[in-house]
Amino acid sequence: MPSSKAKIKERVRTLEADLKASPMRHYIYHDLPFAIFCYPPEQEWAVRREVDLLKTRLENDTNRTIAFVSLAELLWQAIDESEGIQAVAELEQRDGFEAAQLQIQDYLSDPDWRPLPDLLAERLAELDPDRHIAFIVRAGALAPNVYRVSKLLDEMKGRTRVPCVLFMPATTEGRSSLRFMGIAENEGRGSYHTKVYV
């Protein structure tokens, strides 16, 4: 039986073939040119290495440039441009972790703050859909329940033409059940409406 690292390499090669195809085969809907690449959370460092190697191969073999977009960076940007980390820290000290997490959810969801889909759309707007592929990384920063990946993808519909691959740490049960970060309470939440590499 192949090791989990061997399985990751095999799935990366499948993704690579789909990204090199003309037209690309990594997405289902033209108004949501996203794929999700799932991997066991404990394989984070191995996946980062494979993604770096994939970037090199794609840039060498195609006329595309790979742009990394970090969800962790967008999360911190939303906090900074809302009330700042000091306000979150004070809230957590006063009312606990759950209250702080709910406040960050508000920053990432409420149009009066800095919604995550807006930040991602702004970052992708800097890219050329005919020249770039966006690798969206560091999704683990949204754990345990800061923001649902399925919600992010739903809200990105029609907002970009840039081909995107979102690398998501998750455990799987079959092809339809993804458990973000392997957290039991995240089981069965959301529908992704994208091609999922599992």
Question: Each residue of 149-173: pLDDT tens digit?
Answer: 888 988 999 999 999 999 998 877 6
Burial of residue 101 (CB within 10 Å: 0-12, 13-18, 19+) is middle
Percent of the chain with pLDDT over 70: 88
The boundaries of the domain holding residue 175 are 4-197
The average pLDDT across 133-144 equals: 90
**139: closest CA among 17, 19, 6, 47?**
47
Residue 114 CA to residue 108 CA, distance in Å, equals 6
Residue where the block lists tokens 């990751």: 8
Q: Which two tokens stand for residue 70?
A: 């970090």
Question: Considering the entire predicted model, what is its pTM?
Answer: 0.88
The band of 181, judged by pLDDT with boundaries at 50, 70 and 90, is low
Provide the number of structural domains found in the chain: 1
Choose the weakest-confidence range: 21-30, 36-45, 57-66, 118-127. Answer: 21-30
CA distance 99 to 63: 46
